[in-house]
Structure 1
Amino acid sequence: MPQLSDKQIHGILFDKDGTLFDFHRTWHSVITKAAAMASGGDERLGRILLEAGGFDPATCRFQADSVIAAGHAGELAELWRGLGAVLPLDDLQGRLDALFAEEALASAVPVTDLRPLFARLTRLGLRLGIATNDSEASASATVERYALKEFVGFVAGYDSGYGVKPGPGMALAFCEAVNLPPHHVAVVGDSGHDMAMGRSAEVRLCVGVLTGAGTMASLASQADVVLQDITGLLELLD
């Protein structure tokens, strides 16, 4: 495994779901409830919505880089509305955001004890942030629930005004917020969108993790290194 000195990396920007939290275990029940809401309880339509979004009800697995796994609520609402979702587009997006913020936080399964890990990374002199294609409110609620506020200097969602992944906006905003050039920053995530964000922002290191919908096959060609989970960052950073 390649190792990097702290002279090279001074900041880490984390994705949220699939990176800090096990995506499959966290989002199975959440997305099932979302589809039931969007379909008005029509089971057949609900299954169509789930499969189109990238979730296989038979295996309870999410497809890598699918709309559900890597997109934001607006993209999902537009997709589902086009397939027959019963709610108007704006209403559907708003209800998806609200449901995701409440249900995903309630069912979240952290991949490790986050506070000790973030504390250790901070003691190494690293500045930390979270950038998600979920809403900013959901990300901020996560920071509060897991007592990470003292370690996290930047939080952004798809609705924060920096653009959405795979664009570079959130990564560049993190660099500005913590006063670091991109070549001293690492982006850590579970999807191609995360890796593309890092690449387009020209960060020093793009780290893939296998706790989301992404697989070794889907991440290997886009990431500089792929880890089983975020605990491997400690070894990577030596």
Structure 2
Amino acid sequence: MKWILFDKDGTLIYFDRSWMKIGLQLVEDFMTTYQEDIKDVEAGYVYLGIIDGEIQPGTIMASGALDEMVQAFCEIANQDVTQWAQNRSQTLVDNRIPENVVVEGIDETLATLKNQGYKMGIVTSDSNKGVQQFLEATNFSQFFDVIISTEADAVEKPNPEVLNPLFNNYEVAPHDVTIVGDTANDIQTGVNANLGLSIAVLTGVGLEHEFDKADYVVATANDVISILNQ
């Protein structure tokens, strides 16, 4: 392996609860905006994965990509709400106040991997603004050679094209790349891009049984070192 790509939320930091607040607000705004078109509001909440005002693990709103959420909104509203959902989501993301609680020991892990000669990157569904806030809060810029963020009109994981900023700018083969993440979408990205290794971590929203396509399922991203040193 030559490169290691890390998801951010739920992998380098414990899953940021501000994302849950955004998800809940997005759904509330959707339900209010399209209330006249929604046949069964309660069924809509359940379909999206919200029960008793909480986003349930393993559901669309917990770990789905934005396009999956948008598709669900369209089905619930019985019309195309793509533009509204993308715009509203981006507005909420741009105004969010992030919570960056670093996974214990991850700074030492990143330093060790860098000293061992690995190139590293971040591949996240967060916006560039959110990533920059994260890097400033953690002082982790020194560790990463490429940053891949996701704006409203960009491709998202698990679409393999999300990795184009890596493969178009660096001479590296897919089989020399490891991806580390906390959702099935992270792991599916590795599958779709034919990456050499995929490692799922349990510090985020993904459930262990969802990681059947991962090469390894570990407690935290700190376990990456022992896997790569095997």
State whether TM-score is above 0.5: yes
Kindly report the root-mean-square deviation, in angstroms, between the aligned alpha carbons of the 2 structures. Answer: 3.3
Q: Which residue does the alignment assign to 1:148?
A: 140
TM-score, length of structure 2 as denominator length: 0.78
Unpaired runs of at least 5, structure 2:
none
Aligned residues: 224
Q: Distance in 2 between matches of 1:75 and 1:139?
A: 22
Check if 1:62 corresponds to 2:57. Answer: yes
Report which stretch shifted further, 13-22 or 29-38: 29-38
Q: Distance in 2 between matches of 1:55 and 1:182?
A: 37
Question: Residue deviations 1:51-82, cap 9 Å, x none?
Answer: 33334446653225x3541302x542453355
Report which stretch shifted further, 32-41 or 91-100: 32-41
Alignment check: 8 A CA contact 1:13 1:171 kept: no
Check if 1:237 corresponds to 2:224. Answer: no
Alignment check: 8 A CA contact 2:2 2:118 kept: yes
Alignment check: 8 A CA contact 1:196 1:222 kept: yes
Check if 1:177 corresponds to 2:169. Answer: yes
1:142–1:151 Cα change, 3 Å: same
Q: Which residue does the alignment assign to 1:157?
A: 149
SS in 2 for 1:212: coil
Q: Which residue does the alignment assign to 1:20?
A: 12
SS in 2 for 1:202: coil
Q: Which residue does the alignment assign to 1:227?
A: 218
Amino acid at match of 1:192: A
Q: Distance in 1 between matches of 2:87 and 2:150?
A: 13
TM-score, length of structure 1 as denominator length: 0.76
Give aligned-pair identity as a percent: 23
Q: How far did residue 183 of structure 1 move?
A: 1.6
Check if 1:198 corresponds to 2:190. Answer: yes
Q: Distance in 1 between matches of 2:48 and 2:163?
A: 26
Q: Distance in 2 between matches of 1:122 and 1:162?
A: 29
Alignment check: 8 A CA contact 2:57 2:207 kept: no
Question: Residue deviations 1:84-105, cap 9 Å, x none?
Answer: 49xx6434422312323442x5
Amino acid at match of 2:186: D
Unpaired runs of at least 5, structure 1:
1-8
Map 1:72-221; keep pairs closer than 5 Å.
72=66, 74-80=67-73, 82-84=75-77, 89-103=82-96, 105-112=97-104, 114-159=106-151, 163-219=155-211, 221=212
Question: Residue deviations 1:118-162, cap 9 Å, x none?
Answer: 233212211111112333443343233322222212122344987
Q: Which residue does the alignment assign to 1:51?
A: 46
